């Protein structure tokens, strides 16, 4: 890691810790290309006391990419201190995005190491140990984050913040058409939101193959035991302190989260 990458990461970590936000990074540390941005993101691991929990994928739908003005998906890191079991009460203090997303998450069962040729959907599926329903609660240090651009968003961990993991899905998930699988969410105000697995790069396993290949291009191994959450199946919906939300994956399970009223950290 270069001193510049570490400087970018330290700047963003300070903003995260203090609950601050900016329009853009100072010119002398602003990344302009994906490799530079991913190098800065990697330095964020130095601020965690735990092994990396896993990975997230942002902007896995065309609408999502257009909304944040990027040309394709973005990979981010999930930190163990921000990953919680089903039903956990989560603080929204310092969170400006205040949305929730329902996602297919996969626990990796064997290392997917960097290699010169691409991983296929079939190869990554074979490497999966388990499937879980999940909720992501993203955040950004940029305001407005829609105008930050992909390099700054990647450096800022692709808007990663909190992650809630449901119970392990039945093993027969492998026999289900995940692309056509319906996912619905009950928001805190009682509104029902609906989506499909195909809203995630056409298929959640295609999204998993994408991140395996993205990491491979960076010389990074997708490690056994890590969890990958593959992107929202429906348009993210707003959440507020005091809300309780539930995301229903049908026969694959359900996952819930609560949002603290007093802003206390989870």
Longest dimension (CA), the chain: 51
pLDDT (tens digit per residue) in 226-247: 999 999 999 999 999 999 999 9
pLDDT (tens digit per residue) in 95-122: 999 999 999 999 999 999 999 999 999 9
Nearest by Cα to 95 from 26, 160, 188, 189: 160
Q: Following DSSP, what letter does each residue of 66-117 receive, concatenated? A: HHTT-SS-EEEEEPGGGEEETT-EE--TT-SS-EEEEEEEEEE-S-B---SS
The parent domain of residue 81 ranges over 50-259
For the chain, what is the total number of helices (H) and then of strands (E)?
A: 6, 13
155, part of any domain = yes
Q: Is the pLDDT of residue 264 over 90?
A: no
Residue percentage of the chain with pLDDT more than 90: 92
Q: Encode 198-222: b = buried (16+ Cβ within 10 Å), e = exposed.
A: bbbbebbbbbbbbbbbbbbeeebeb
70, part of any domain = yes
CATH number at residue 106: 3.90.850.10
Work out the number of other CB atoms within 10 angstroms of the CB of residue 175.
Answer: 7
15, part of any domain = no
**49 by DSSP, 3-state: which?**
coil
Rg for the chain, CA atoms, rounded: 17
What pLDDT does residue 63 have? 85
23, part of any domain = no
207, part of any domain = yes
215, part of any domain = yes
State how far the Cα of 186 lies from the Cα of 193, in Å rounded to an integer.
6
Q: How many domains does the chain have?
A: 1
9, part of any domain = no
Q: What pTM did the predictor assign?
A: 0.96
27, part of any domain = no
Residue 235 in contact with residue 241, Cβ under 8 Å?
no
Nearest by Cα to 108 from 203, 207, 224, 233: 224
Residue 151, CA atoms < 13 Å, CB-side half-sphere? 14
């Amino acid at each position: 890691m270069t001193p510049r990458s570490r400087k970018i990461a330290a700047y963003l970590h300070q903003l995260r810790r203090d609950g601050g936000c900016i329009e853009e990074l100072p010119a002398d540390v602003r990344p302009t290309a994906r490799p530079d941005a991913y190098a800065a993101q990697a330095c964020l691991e130095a601020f965690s006391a735990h092994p990396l929990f896993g990975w997230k994928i942002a902007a896995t739908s065309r609408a999502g990419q257009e909304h944040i003005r990027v040309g394709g998906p973005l990979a981010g890191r999930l930190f163990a201190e921000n990953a919680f079991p089903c039903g956990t009460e989560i603080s929204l203090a310092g969170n400006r995005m205040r949305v929730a997303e329902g996602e297919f998450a996969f626990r990796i069962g064997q290392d997917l190491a960097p290699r010169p040729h691409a991983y296929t959907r079939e190869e990554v599926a074979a490497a999966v140990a388990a499937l879980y329903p999940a909720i992501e609660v993203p955040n950004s240090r940029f305001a407005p984050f829609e105008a930050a651009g992909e390099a700054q968003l990647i450096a800022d961990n692709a808007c990663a913040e909190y992650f809630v993991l449901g119970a392990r899905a039945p093993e027969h998930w492998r026999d289900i058409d995940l692309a056509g699988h319906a996912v619905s969410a009950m928001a805190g105000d009682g509104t029902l939101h609906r989506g499909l697995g195909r809203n995630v790069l056409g298929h959640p396993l295609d999204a998993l193959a994408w991140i395996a290949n993205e990491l491979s291009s960076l010389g990074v191994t997708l490690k056994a035991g890590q969890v990958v959450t593959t992107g929202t199946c429906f348009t993210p919906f707003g959440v507020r302190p005091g809300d309780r939300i539930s995301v229903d994956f049908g026969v694959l399970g359900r996952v819930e989260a609560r949002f603290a009223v007093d802003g206390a950290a989870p």
